[in-house]
Structure 1
Amino acid sequence: MKDYALASKYRCPKYIIGYTGFIPTLNFRYGKSYGRSADDSMCEFSENLRRLKEGRQNKERMYRASTAPKMRPLRQEDEVNRVLKEYEEKCKFSAKEISPDCPPIAGYTGHIPKVKGNEESLSQRYNIVVKRGLNLLKQEREKRGALQKVHSKITDVVKEQEQPYRSKDSQ
């Protein structure tokens, strides 16, 4: 605990020598002289009073805010909804692919695909590393697209083979 007797801001007020009356919050303090323990007790008491006063003021502010008259809106609700919908339509997310020809601006701190934080990528220019990473991503996507096309063709052929043979009588 801080020794308030030495702090200039909390100088111990002049007590009457021999006074043994009531001192608020003097709760069995051991190891200090009467003057220092009385000073600590008075500091605690004034701190508690300050907190209580702040709490009372907060309650008064809340009451004033709840009893304040309701303000009328400047715009109608349907007009506000219309403007919000227009804004939402205007600012919809559009998925844009990053091309290797035009990499992100230097200083971009987001994720760059296929770029690992190893010494090889850290020792090169940002623009070169980003272009290489985006080229690798583009090649991977092209390979994946080609594989998906082949897969769809194979599944189509397999489905055709699985169709039961029709007899000439059923035709």
Structure 2
Amino acid sequence: MATTAFGGGPSLDQRRTFAALRDGTHVPGYRGYCPQIKYRVGKTYGTDTHELSKDHEHRHPASVLYLVPPETLRNDLPDPTGDNKYTKDMVPGYTGYIPRMPFKFGGTYKEDCDVCIDDYLTNRRTADIKDADLRQQVRGYPSLTPIAHNPGVRDKMNLYRDTHPAQPTLLEDKRPLTEPPIPGYRGYIPRIKATELGLGARYHNATKKGLQQFVNETAAHAEKVSDRLPLSIERVTSQNPMNGPTSYNRRLYQQDGMIPKYTGYIPHRRFVFGNTYGDTTRSLSVCGHNSNSYGEWAQSKLIRQSTIA
């Protein structure tokens, strides 16, 4: 018997005999799947796997496990060419996807790969045969005569459209607003989630009720708006004993400047540098004018410029 250093060594059966493993026992340290092993406590791994092998035939007997070839495959697995993925010489460690491989347990990588690839090829060829048979049956039936090319139908449709102009379905290809969408539509439908219209009903009925309710509310709101009288906006002033007449539109930017840490927007402040926050705001036109609001000051400024011009 050649030694391992010269490419030989004991066979697998000789190794199992030397380790005195009983029939059906896994080698301690085996990380593969073993049914019901997690529910057994108190015995060694070898004893548990030996007893489980009698109740669950998850593997072949040790004497013929590596001597009996795998079952004859229905397809001739392809040879590796460098471009094809699924071949008959799959190397352990391949990290790509193999169909049905996650559901195979108890066999070697080569055997499981051959079975999975064989099933994949069989299913694909079966699907191709069914598709070819369906195409052949379709070609065997006589072709239907299209009526779209019939000039009589075209003339009748044109005459009907001219004599019935009130039919919107013939003039434009637009769905009405209250028509419910098909099931599976992921867009927004008003009123079906915020109200009880979407509870306890099928999607078709719920969407139809929601769209109809939305149309009714929109029409009612339009009627209310049309009935309102136009409002006249006038500036209302009040008498302030300290500063005289002031507008209800009170001034936002004061003449004495803005308080530091004010987080609101101040026009033109971003273009001023080198001063404190108070000096900066007091120097801006929005704070330095004497009018009741910046709009009044800007309007008076335009009037003065037009007068001078």
TM-score norm. by structure 2 comes to: 0.23
Between structures 1 and 2, the one with greater helix share? 1
Larger RCO (CA under 8 A, 6+ residues apart): 1
TM-score norm. by structure 1 comes to: 0.37
Max Rg structure: 2
